[in-house]
Structure 1
């Protein structure tokens, strides 16, 4: 199996940590270590995987059995864990986003550039069946030149709740944009092959987090108490991104807003368009033609429902380690570009003006910074 002989340590043993642990185990890797501040989590993890557990990551990254580290902690702690793991010679997979701030993300990137191990970032929706279908059709030229992407990750009511790390700007770095909007943004930039970006405009809103009468029909935020904790992060963001070659991206991200929920991802091309839900299995292709008479053609492609983005992403991580090559996807350079655009959206919201990035090749600038 692809992960045979690779010892994996998980830092952060909550839901995401366990998801990755199960995934890499099924791919043949051995989960040898775990770290979490919560003793109960450590005990459960040790029992399930027979793994050595640590209260903090410092002991885990120097454990001789650990070849690769997967980081699933709150955003603020991505940097110290990833940096220590890379400096210890481990391979690293960091859950999205790369970090809680652009400066922190850049420090991880500099460390990764000098490290022997690889560093990848957890944007699993690139590997979902819907995106795999799109990539193949796009490679065949079916869509022509891509012109615009509408990217949505919108909950009608889905604020994690005051008191969680998600709503603490010191731990998360931001709200709905850094939590769920980052998925839609990364997928849009990935679809356009990370084009040069000229201008970013955005508005971040904090509307619902302080409401005592916040309606939460699904109980997403559990015990809501608007006065118990501070809430200083965005619960919705609207953004528009112009690329140097004319492509554009419109982004809607929300934990809560008075509209229908949506994870719709729509791609416009000169020859055809595509639409699917982020992370979903199926892909719809929208075309028009003149054969016989002028007509519309809607083609539905049904993907393999057993293909999950998380499993495919973890497989890429383990395969890259096994082959001793550099990553071809989910690279730290790409994640740094995503982080820069997020930073630009927040800066645009603060200033009330578009953030100009004209004539800046973000990937080349990144290489110049870390070399």
Structure 2
């Protein structure tokens, strides 16, 4: 809501949420007069151009499909849905309605990720062929007993929660290669023993710990490239959060490390020939995060001639990889992905929040 509120061409006009206190507090803070407990009433009352879906994962698909079918453009929080089947329903609804559907991948809009992408596009490391991408926590399960730890509500653990960000920025940096196969293992060792939980006001549903607390993936890419992806909510490692990526290219390499959500991480480009090195530390600005994502989304909404390009297909592809990873971990074998059947052009980014409409709508 902060991101939308910074834009003079946007008016926040309605909000729906089942928690009375937070809903009223947000309504007062942002001057939102229309407040609903049930999202269906918000959609039915009309007058909206855009809806942002920022709710537990099991509600993403029904709300997005309902809004799209009502002719409203949708920006959903990540992950797009619990499964690729639900994600496909959302993409189909966008096609059916002829409206924009995007999903919030705000980490690619960090300044350090953008600086690394610019270096790769400039040819500084040649062709990237392998990477190790991570998001690891020492003790970061989002509240034991919350909807996050319930498989039916969340769809999975750290892989689908924070790992989807890692998957997105890794594939983005590689130039969106097709993932042809996934081999994965998942572990649930700490959460089931009541360890690794973080403090927070996440919605408590009294759930047992039903998801993984660590996942490790090997992705095979079309053309021979590869990515190792590791993500954890809880593991015996240095305290705090750490995410980033190490890339190996034909003419150089790169390493980005972000500790405890630092606005800008430590980015190094490795180049040289043989024993002669020419490594460079790159200073990056913090980037504009959700504001940039919201601006991009609204720019796509304003570009009516190209609505079909922004149909959620990129997020659907991420969901297909995560589905394959969970299947691989369950089967104990590599899972090959079938080529995507989506015909729309590749979408770009996405975003987050409540309900909005441009002024004058």
TM-score of the aligned structures, taking structure 1 as reference length: 0.84
What is aligned with 1:49? 30
What is aligned with 2:89? 107
What is aligned with 2:75? 93
1:162 aligns with 2:138: no
1:232 aligns with 2:213: no
- 2:117 maps to which of 135, 145, 153: 135
Distance 1:330 1:148 in 2: 29
Q: Equivalences for 1:27-106 in 2 at 5 Å?
A: 27-28=7-8, 29-51=10-32, 52-106=34-88
How many pairs align? 334
Distance 1:96 1:269 in 2: 29
> Cα–Cα, structure 1 residues 330 and 304, in superposed 2: closer, same or farther, change >3 Å?
farther
Q: Is the 8 A contact 2:120 2:173 kept in 1?
A: no
Single out whichever of 124-133 and 278-287 deviates more from structure 2.
278-287
How far the C-alpha of 1:90 sits from its partner, in A, is: 0.9
What is aligned with 1:361? 339
Q: In angstroms, what is the RMSD of aligned CA positions? A: 2.3
Q: Is the 8 A contact 2:196 2:235 kept in 1?
A: no
- 1:302 maps to which of 283, 295, 304: 283
> Cα–Cα, structure 1 residues 53 and 215, in superposed 2: closer, same or farther, change >3 Å?
closer
Residue 70 of structure 1 aligns to a residue whose secondary structure is strand
- 2:322 maps to which of 324, 334, 342: 342
How far the C-alpha of 1:221 sits from its partner, in A, is: 6.5
Query: Which structure ranks higher in relative contact order (CA pairs < 8 Å, sequence separation ≥ 6)?
Result: 2
Q: Is the 8 A contact 1:156 1:256 kept in 2?
A: yes
Distance 2:192 2:285 in 1: 42
Summarize deviations over 1:191-225 as a string: whole Å, max 9, x none. 2222222221001111111215x366xx53689x9
Residue 233 of structure 1 aligns to a residue whose secondary structure is coil
What is aligned with 1:17? none
- 1:315 maps to which of 292, 295, 300: 295
Residue 51 of structure 2 aligns to a residue whose secondary structure is strand
1:247 aligns with 2:225: yes
What is aligned with 2:127? 145
Distance 1:126 1:329 in 2: 19
Structure 1: state its 5+ residue gaps.
1-20
TM-score of the aligned structures, taking structure 2 as reference length: 0.86
Distance 1:301 1:329 in 2: 33
Residue 262 of structure 1 aligns to a residue whose secondary structure is strand
Residue 367 of structure 1 aligns to a residue whose secondary structure is coil
